[in-house]
Amino acid sequence: MNGRELYQWLKGKHPQLAGGVMFTTGDVMAGDIQSFLEQAARPFLPKPFTPDELKAIVKEALKELKRGDI
């Protein structure tokens, strides 16, 4: 199962968890990946990423969670 399949499964079976998903990919140039990431509207980090970039995206997701945006 890849990340896209896992996300689709979560949306169907456990939608409350799907809002907490963050993606990371080394292939943001592929059209189908770009379109999926846009449609999912979830945060993502392109690989390679630094620890600081990872911390920043997690911090932002936690802020969204606190605000109730997810």
DSSP letter assigned to residue 49: -
Q: What is the pLDDT of residue 69?
A: 63
Distance CA 18, CA 52 (A): 24
Read off the pTM: 0.74
Tens of pLDDT along the chain (70 residues) come to 988 999 999 999 999 888 889 999 887 777 788 899 999 999 989 999 999 999 999 998 888 778 776 6
Domains identified in the chain, total number: 1
User: Which range marks the domain in which residue 55 is found?
Assistant: 3-67
